Amino acid sequence: MLAVRRRLAAAPLLLRNLATKVLQDLQENEALTPNTVGPYMSERLEDYTPDRIRNFSIVAHIDHGKSTLADRLLETSGNISRQERESAQFLDTLQVERERGITVKAQTASMVHFDVQTNKTFMLNLVDTPGHVDFSYEVNRSLSACEGVLLLVDCSQGIQAQTLATYYAAKERHLAIVPILTKIDMPHAQIDESILNLSSLLNIDPDDVLLTSAKSGDGIEKILPAIVQRLPPPVQCHRQAPLRCLLVDSFYDDYRGTVCLIKIVDGTLRPGDVISSAYYHTKHEVQETGVLLPRRFETSELYAGQVGYMIAGMKTTTDAKMGDTFFLYETIKSTTLTPLTGFQEARSMVFASMYPTDDSSFDELRVAVEKLVMNDASVTIVQETSGALGMGFRCGFLGLLHMEVFHQRLSDEQGIQVMVTAPMVPYRIMDSKKVQRTVETPGAFPASTKEFDIFEPMVEASILTPSSYLGPVLALANDKRGIQTNLVYLEDTRVLVTVHLPWQEVVTNFYNELKTISSGYATLNYFEIAPQKSDIVKVDVMLNGKVLDALSFVCHRSRATLSGRQLCQKLKRVIDRQQFEISIQAALGGKIFAKERIPPFRKDVLIKSGKTVGGGDSTRKKKLLAKQKQGKRRMRTVSNVQLSQDAFWSVLSK
């Protein structure tokens, strides 16, 4: 700063006057702290025209350092302190995120950066993204609000399966890409090899790759200038046009209701404006607008091209739809406005039922589920009733991890304990009249499939594995009924295998098995393809002769017998013994093919007070034993078997 002042003192008067404002902004920007960045940005919000805005996401394979880099950028721009960055991933706000070390929910943060090359202050809006493939819906939502991305590659691991997937997702949206190698300070970092792979596989110029370490801070100072210089500003944004804003995300606040993350495309949004949505046509008055730092900071308006939040008194899921467009209510009647093209609606790929552990707590479960759905629009819910478990919800998820995270959030954030049934994928059933319907529960699946054609969902899986593990990986894919469609050697030591797999096989422990046989080195990415006709059957599980729909499952006929027997054995281990005998059976098409027996607790009725009843009279002994047997039979008829959550998860791990 002293050198800049000396040069200004020697410059002509006109240049000094022109540079004064820039120098003041630079001084203030250098001194920005978590307490001053909000007011600084708010006072100059109108100055951030679309050409001085950059909206970007950080995309990468899971565990390649996205959250750590995001925290380092927030510290560099003054949004958070060094202590906050060092304590934990600042954008990972959910307890489940910090426990599992993954990003689940996309977060947003607006930063201020003074660019020396242009002598202008820019607003940089970071939209964080999850890394796991189950949360690809969150990634797509984030990309819809951006004009560019930072593509991270861990140089100690190289390009992984999801690196390729996120790269192509960004290219499909014609987003600008800044490639970044992270973790260059690692002892086993392969910097040169990673740069060559980026060049050969993704056609990236080696000179464009930034070398960084978010942990040590090396190279971080180059990222913000690169965002300004190499990413484009928002296009086709007009402040004077009628309001159009895209609903990118939402989260629930216990005191304010739904907080909507929005991108202003046209016009200006202010508190007091009355808005309406293009999809639901609901009418709301805006109570508050602001930016996320990532803490909420209230502002008096939001302008075209900017990303921020609004609070408009929305209380339920029917008030807002992800990807919806909001207009000013008064302009809808007088002007024909075109809704913005948002993103594709999430399609549930795994279904499971959730029931309260106590029937009286169903209303509490309903409130808790609705709150989480407001925070995660990719979850679908339908109320249902089970003869064995009572009232509950049939929930649709993007994948198995998505389901586990939702279950954990119910416990962590809402304090609700639930029983979760085994997951099932949606099957398409076509009868002899060519009428199709989708089945999402075992109870709705036909007992006999002779008169139906069953189509199971399929995915195209990309598996990136070291070549030394290629044999076991191909064997696993074959065991899961996979069909290999392509095999490419990316280099001498790594192979990219493309396989068509039934989705049901993927959700039943495929990822864990893949990691096990490859010593953790193989990575997986997948996307949905056209369903395929298959021989799918329903296996009924019975306890004491009664079919329990919550434990019945659907699988390929070739696996029905083995899976049914294994399930009966697992249930025998997890169901507690009762005062009566428990019979566990598995049936296919009404024919029982597997059975396990849990013997009852037995009291010795021939002994009373340490003495033998009836002395040596055998008739008396037979009467006592017959009476006990009759009582056991009556107890078995009127009693219910107590099932724990372990019983349901034993189906999941079959």
131 is in an annotated binding site: yes
Same domain, 107 and 181: yes
Mean pLDDT on 262-268: 92
Q: How many residues does the chain have?
A: 654
134 is in an annotated binding site: no
**Beta carbons within 8 Å of 590's beta carbon, 6+ residues apart:** 447
182 is in an annotated binding site: yes
Q: How far apart are CA 258 and CA 461, in angstroms?
A: 36
pLDDT bucket at 647, cuts 50 / 70 / 90: low
Q: Reply yes or no on whether the pLDDT at 38 is more than 70.
A: no
184 is in an annotated binding site: yes
| SS3 sequence of 211-224 | ECCCCCCCCHHHHH
63 is in an annotated binding site: yes
129 is in an annotated binding site: yes
Residue with tokens 């880099």: 69
Type and span of the H or E element at 328: strand 325-328
3-state secondary structure of 428: strand
Angle at 258 between CA 257 and CA 260, to 5 degrees: 150
Q: Reply yes or no on whether the pLDDT at 423 is more than 60.
A: yes
Each residue's pLDDT tens digit, 107-124: 688 888 888 888 888 999
Same domain, 542 and 624: yes
pLDDT bucket at 86, cuts 50 / 70 / 90: low
Give the number of other CB atoms < 10 A from CB of residue 375.
18
Domain end point (choices 405, 423, 441): 423
Each residue's pLDDT tens digit, 363-410: 888 888 888 887 777 788 888 887 667 788 888 888 787 888 888 888
Residue with tokens 């958070």: 80
Q: Reply yes or no on whether the pLDDT at 137 is more than 90.
A: no
Residue 238, domain member (yes or no) = no
Same domain, 559 and 627: yes
Q: Where are the alpha helices (DSSP H) in 350-469?
A: 362-375, 400-414
Domain end point (choices 534, 567, 597): 534
The total of structural domains in the chain comes to 5
CATH of the domain at 55: 3.40.50.300
Q: Which of 127, 140, 95 is nearest to 292 (CA)?
A: 127
Mean pLDDT on 128-136: 63
Write down the pLDDT at residue 287: 95
Residue 407, domain member (yes or no) = yes
CATH of the domain at 593: 3.30.70.2570
Bigger pLDDT: 83 vs 578:
578
Q: How far apart are CA 558 and CA 377, in angstroms?
A: 36
Provide the token pair at 498. 């493309």
Bigger pLDDT: 184 vs 604:
184
Same domain, 482 and 499: yes
CATH of the domain at 419: 3.30.70.870
Q: Where are the alpha helices (DSSP H) in 211-361?
A: 223-230, 329-334
Give the number of other CB atoms < 10 A from CB of residue 293.
21
Q: How far apart are CA 280 and CA 569, in angstroms?
A: 50
Question: Is it true that the peptide bond before 39 is cis, omega within 30 degrees of 0?
Answer: no
Residue 9, domain member (yes or no) = no
Each residue's pLDDT tens digit, 289-323: 999 887 888 899 999 999 999 999 887 656 777 77
pLDDT bucket at 617, cuts 50 / 70 / 90: low
**Beta carbons within 8 Å of 422's beta carbon, 6+ residues apart:** 352, 551, 553, 648, 649, 651, 652, 654
Query: What is the DSSP code (8-state) at residue 612?
Result: E
Q: What is the mean pLDDT of the chain?
A: 80
Q: What is the distance, to the nearest Å, from the Cα of residue 579 to the centroid of all Cα atoms in its chain?
A: 44
Each residue's pLDDT tens digit, 459-516: 999 998 889 999 999 999 999 999 999 999 887 788 999 999 998 888 877 887 888 8
Domain end point (choices 534, 554, 587): 534
- Secondary structure tally for the chain: helices H, strands E: 19, 33
Same domain, 379 and 457: no
Residue 316, domain member (yes or no) = yes
HSE on the CB side for 262, CA within 13 Å?
Answer: 35
CATH of the domain at 466: 3.30.70.240
Q: Reply yes or no on whether the pLDDT at 29 is more than 70.
A: no
Write down the pLDDT at residue 519: 81
Residue 236, domain member (yes or no) = no
Give the number of other CB atoms < 10 A from CB of residue 206.
11
Same domain, 543 and 525: no
Same domain, 88 and 171: yes
Q: Reply yes or no on whether the pLDDT at 544 is more than 70.
A: yes
570 is in an annotated binding site: no
Bigger pLDDT: 503 vs 653:
503
Same domain, 563 and 505: no
Residue 12, domain member (yes or no) = no
Same domain, 391 and 259: no
552 is in an annotated binding site: no
Mean pLDDT on 12-34: 45
Same domain, 100 and 115: yes
pLDDT bucket at 132, cuts 50 / 70 / 90: low
Residue with tokens 């209510």: 329
CATH of the domain at 290: 2.40.30.10
What does the radius of gyration of the chain's CA atoms come to, in whole angstroms?
Answer: 30
Bigger pLDDT: 536 vs 293:
536
Write down the pLDDT at residue 314: 83
Q: Reply yes or no on whether the pLDDT at 12 is more than 50.
A: no
Mean pLDDT on 578-582: 78
Residue 235, domain member (yes or no) = no
Write down the pLDDT at residue 344: 63
Same domain, 483 and 542: no
CA dihedral (162, 164, 168, 174) in degrees, to 10, reads 100
Residue 385, domain member (yes or no) = yes
Write down the pLDDT at residue 21: 42
Type and span of the H or E element at 326: strand 325-328
62 is in an annotated binding site: yes
- Domain, as residue range, for 468: 428-534
Give the global pTM.
0.72
Bigger pLDDT: 55 vs 523:
55
Amino acid letter, residue 306: Q
Each residue's pLDDT tens digit, 172-223: 889 999 999 998 988 888 899 889 988 888 889 999 999 998 888 889 999 9
Write down the pLDDT at residue 360: 73
Same domain, 169 and 97: yes
66 is in an annotated binding site: yes
Give the number of other CB atoms < 10 A from CB of residue 204.
19
